[in-house]
């Protein structure tokens, strides 16, 4: 489901260094007098591969404009994530709505053990080794948001030492 899109440039001439992955495109049909009128909603994950990730949800009457809107929103909502040696520093549980994603650090070479939507987030942020399990909702939009909420909770050993004011 996750599709890798690397944007070379915009119409404005600026270069985008972000990895964009289209997680889900939904089609909605409204029945009108002349038949059905379709609209589209796109969920996109955007990251720099070095510890920043964001998600966006865009809606439009065609697929390309909905993806563009989602990318714009994803780039505006970037959040910093702590990564240690290509994995996460500790076990974390991300929750959003009825979705829950458990992420556990893994040894180098394990790879990303995750479903399509959680995998898209991990690849965009730059995580190479992680074990995940999702519970509750299977909606890709919910799982992406739960994964990002979990990643925002990550703290490194240095962060904890600085916050507590003690040496561990």
Query: In whole angstroms, what is the distance from residue 106 CA to residue 131 CA?
Result: 6
Q: What percent of the chain is modeled with pLDDT above 70?
A: 90
Domains of the chain, first to last = 3-79 (3.30.160.20), 82-160 (3.30.230.10)
Task: Report how far apart, in Å, the C-alpha atoms of 98 and of each of 33, 67, 113 are.
Answer: 37, 25, 21
* Confidence grade of residue 11 (pLDDT, cut at 50, 70, 90): very low
pLDDT digit string, tens, across residues 103-141:
999 999 999 999 999 999 999 999 999 999 999 999 999
Task: Report how far apart, in Å, the C-alpha atoms of 15 and of each of 43, 69, 78 are.
Answer: 22, 17, 17
pTM score, whole prediction: 0.85
Query: Contact at 8 Å (CB) between 119 and 21?
Result: no
Question: Does residue 8 surpass a pLDDT of 60?
Answer: no
Average pLDDT, the chain: 90
* Confidence grade of residue 168 (pLDDT, cut at 50, 70, 90): confident
Sheet holding 130-136, edge to edge: 92-96, 99-105, 130-136, 112-113
Please tell me the predicted confidence (pLDDT) of residue 68. Answer: 95
Q: Which of 72, 51, 70 lies closest to 62 in space, CA to CA?
A: 70
Please tell me the predicted confidence (pLDDT) of residue 166. Answer: 85
Please tell me the predicted confidence (pLDDT) of residue 36. Answer: 94
Question: Does residue 102 surpass a pLDDT of 70?
Answer: yes
For residues 77-87, average pLDDT: 92
Query: Contact at 8 Å (CB) between 154 and 89?
Result: yes
Please tell me the predicted confidence (pLDDT) of residue 54. Answer: 95
């Amino acid at each position: 489901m996750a599709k890798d899109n690397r944007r070379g440039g915009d119409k404005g001439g600026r270069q985008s260094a972000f990895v964009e992955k289209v997680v889900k495109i939904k089609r909605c049909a409204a029945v009108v007098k002349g038949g059905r009128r379709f609209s589209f909603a796109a969920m996109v994950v955007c990251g720099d591969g070095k510890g920043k990730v964001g998600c966006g949800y865009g809606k439009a009457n065609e697929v390309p404009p909905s993806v563009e809107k989602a990318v714009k929103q994803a780039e505006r909502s970037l959040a910093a994530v702590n990564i240690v040696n290509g994995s996460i520093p500790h076990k974390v549980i991300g929750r959003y709505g009825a979705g829950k994603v458990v992420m556990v650090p893994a040894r180098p070479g394990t790879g990303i053990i995750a479903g399509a939507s959680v995998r898209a987030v991990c690849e965009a942020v730059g995580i190479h080794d992680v074990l995940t399990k999702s519970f509750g909702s299977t909606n890709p939009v919910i799982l992406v948001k739960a994964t990002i909420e979990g990643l925002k909770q990550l703290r490194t050993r240095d962060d904890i030492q600085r916050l507590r004011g003690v040496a561990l």
